[in-house]
Amino acid sequence: MISFVRGTVLHAGPDTVVVDLGSVGVTVQCTPGTAMGLRHGEHVELMTTMVVREDGWTLFGFADPDERAVFEQVQTVSGIGPRIALALLGTLTPDELRRAMASGDEAALTKVPGIGRKGAQRLILELADRLGPLPSSVSTAPGSASTTAGGWQAAVAAGLTSLGWSAREADAAIATIDPQVAAEATAAGPSVDVGALLKAALRGLDRS
């Protein structure tokens, strides 16, 4: 099993990334949010899982181990294959998926292409207690005194979603913020200018 790939981005499409590993280029299927956050020439490390079938081997890549774990877990449900599993993560973050399962939110699940009402009910029935606990609640309001090192991403994401962008689009926009700006924001801690970061993320959405 290939657990991760690390290299340079040669191409980033809507849901596919080609990573140059040095002497070979590997095509990795990703969620749109992950693919949108990558740029040509950028160094990247993706957590991966390989699906082997008679018609070919497909490598799926994820921004973090949690996404990969959820991708693998949802496929234990009858009728859910890798494509639908990827569509789930393309529509809902792992924590949004956990909330939908915990609350029995069929409407959220049926927004995913390929999942109908019966499929949503099956997911809730089989996975409600198997995706891990929900994260503890934290304040993410822009400008909040609880914004700490690393917390500015949550504040910017909250601002973007309040403007109508999806959680996946918000994550992709945050990834477009200049690394130096992001590092300075993290170092600033509670005094970070969330408004300026929100504007930078919006510029990233305009370029996509």
15-19, 119-123, 166-170, range with the lowest pLDDT: 166-170
pLDDT score, position 87: 92
Together in a domain, 93 and 123: yes
Q: Which domain holds residue 103?
A: 65-127
pLDDT average, residue stretch 106-132:
88
The mean predicted confidence, pLDDT, of the chain is 82
Together in a domain, 119 and 163: no
What total number of domains does the chain contain? 3
11-20, 118-127, 137-146, range with the lowest pLDDT: 137-146
Q: What is the CATH number of the domain that holds 30?
A: 2.40.50.140
Together in a domain, 72 and 107: yes
pLDDT average, residue stretch 83-96:
91
Does 44 map to a domain?
yes
pLDDT over 80 at 115, yes or no: yes
Whether 111 and 56 have beta carbons less than 8 Å apart is answered as no
C-alpha angle 109/90/122, rounded to 5°?
30
Does 179 map to a domain?
yes
Picking from 75, 20, 78, the residue whose alpha carbon sits closest to that of residue 51 is: 75
The residue among 25, 42, 62 that closes a domain is 62
Of 155 and 151, the structure prediction assigns the larger pLDDT to 155
pLDDT over 70 at 151, yes or no: no
**Beta carbons within 8 Å of 51's beta carbon, 6+ residues apart:** 57, 58, 60, 82
Together in a domain, 89 and 112: yes
How many whole angstroms separate alpha carbon 148 and alpha carbon 166? Answer: 23
pLDDT average, residue stretch 115-132:
87
Does 142 map to a domain?
no
